[in-house]
Amino acid sequence: MADDEKPSLLYKVKPVGDRLPAVKRPEGHVHFRTKMMWVIVILVLYFIMSNVYVWGLDQEKSLDIFAQYRTIMAGASGTVLQLGIGPIVTASIIMQLFVGAKIIKLDLSNKKDKACYQSVLKVLVLVMIFVEAVPQVFGYLVPSSTFEGMFGTSGAKLMIILQLFVGSYIVFLFDEVVSKWGIGSGISLFIAAGVAQAIFTGTLNWYPVDTSNSLSDYSLTNPPAGTIPKAIYILMNTNSADMASGGYEQIFLGQPNPMIALVGTIAIFLIVVYLESSRIELPLAHGKARGARGRYPIKLMYASNIPVILMSALLANVSMVCLLLYTNDALSGIPLLGGNGNLGHFADGSTTATGGMAWYLSTPQGLTDWLLPILNPADYGNGHSVVQNLCHVTIYMSIMVAGSIMFAKFWVETTNLGAESVARNIQRSGMQIPGFRREPRVLKRVLDRYIPTITILSGALIGLLAALADMIGTTGNATGTGLLLTVGIIIRFYEAVGREQMMEMNPMMRSFFGGEE
């Protein structure tokens, strides 16, 4: 922000954010072992909190309105992590949109403006916690009768909101601990941890699908829930004639955890690993030390996985709003919007859209949700025509690709990954591109040939891969988007660990990577 420009109005909100509980940034360099310790501690605490159920909640009568987005929301239904990372990501979306559209006049390359941005973001996170918690508690999270007897109906609901508020803000603080004292992003690690757990249990779970009677009550209609145990059980208890008439179909397509989902999981993993290794490398040479050379890699997946996280969170919030307008007693009475099936139609007791705009924007749940109804509507019909199913797939894929491109551009510009920021980092490190003058403007012009184009391409690829992965399906109902994110997160965490070790061995590299002095 230039000295002659009028300060943003958000500076009036900044004192409020500064007074909120926050994690203090380390004053100097944090040792690699200390960073790894904080990452492990936070992950352990996250798993503990994902098993702390909300006090006074009737688990049987309550509905999870984010059920289809649960893995990528990094939360656990019915626990203090019910909201997961939803409020944090939603607040980030709003701030990025406002900054990117110049509605909020903040220069994130300026330290004061960036500090203001972070303070206002904390305030907005608190607001979004209430925005997402209140509709759920007053419509879908039902207090138990005993709890209502203790505090009254309104008091019981307020107590549940308070627990969700505390749990969500603790997640926000966890993310700050990982970002400031650990390695990588806390949000990304929570997503990866939840998805990895879902895939592991979905692949190897030997308990039967229906455990209401006994944990050992197996049958061909109630086989083990895990992909591999289910396949072994059916093969061992079915003759060749029955296998040909329906056994193979049950193994490869039967829910839950069909074999085709495990194959898709492995395929998506290999594709993402390959794309993550694709890059353009710009040659660098030290301006003063002769013979000192290096390369600056510009990856094909330059925008990382953040754009698809933001896009998935946006679709989750659209689904929530449509559900509230259709089923909530108060909101369903709003003229034109309330109870409008064109916005979203939901069956009784379900939080998954069955029609309207919300259905067209919803995530396809594997091949049985869209491909088989198109190829064989008589046996696999889902209540929609072939044309409607084709429109569903096309609209969902188009929205994911276009939205991911938009968020990729915003993310690159707001996280110092743009051409101008990279040029400054290269100059500060004493490096330059051979054959060009050592000047940021010259470096920026060279980088402008690559970074803007690769940003759009990476956003489109990550959105397309996420959509395709969702359509193929995954084991453990981890969602294709969750799988895609997890693979990228693990790869980037591995690379971040490598950079940290490099900076630990050679402190001169800290300035190049933007680390602490």
Q: pLDDT tens-digit profile of 178-206?
A: 988 998 888 888 888 888 888 999 999 99
* pTM across the whole model: 0.76
Report cis status (omega within 30 of 0) of the bond before 143: no
Cβ atoms of residues 84 and 74 within 8 Å = yes
Cβ atoms of residues 167 and 82 within 8 Å = yes
Please name every residue paired with 222 in a beta bridge, in sequence order, or none if there are none. Answer: 219
183: nearest Cα among 515, 512, 407: 515
pLDDT of residue 143: 93
pLDDT of residue 508: 54
pLDDT of residue 80: 93
Q: Using CB atoms within 10 A of its CB, is residue 239 exposed (0-12), middle (13-18) or buried (19+)?
A: exposed
205: nearest Cα among 482, 4, 385, 475: 475
Q: Give me the torsion for CA of 189, 192, 195, 201, rounded to 10°.
A: -90
pLDDT of residue 389: 95
For residue 61, CA distances in Å to 58, 141, 142, 155, 427 come to 6, 8, 6, 18, 60
299: nearest Cα among 182, 411, 409, 417: 417
Ranges of residues in the chain whose predicted pLDDT is under 70: 1-7, 100-101, 108-109, 286-293, 505-517
Q: How wide is the angle at C-alpha 84 spanned by C-alphas 79 and 90, nearest 5°?
A: 150
pLDDT of residue 7: 67
Q: Which H or E run includes 367?
A: helix 367-375
Listing DSSP states for 143-176 in one string gives BPHHHHHHHHHHHHHHHHHHHHHHHHHHHHHHHH
- Count, residues in the chain: 517
pLDDT of residue 170: 93
Amino acid making up residue 11: Y
DSSP H helix total and E strand total for the chain: 20, 5
Q: Which residues contact 34 (CB under 8 A, 6 or more apart)?
A: 181
pLDDT of residue 391: 95
Residues 465, 471: Cα–Cα separation, whole Å: 10
Cβ atoms of residues 421 and 451 within 8 Å = no
At residue 431, φ and ψ (nearest 5 deg) are: -95, 165
Residues 176, 119: Cα–Cα separation, whole Å: 12
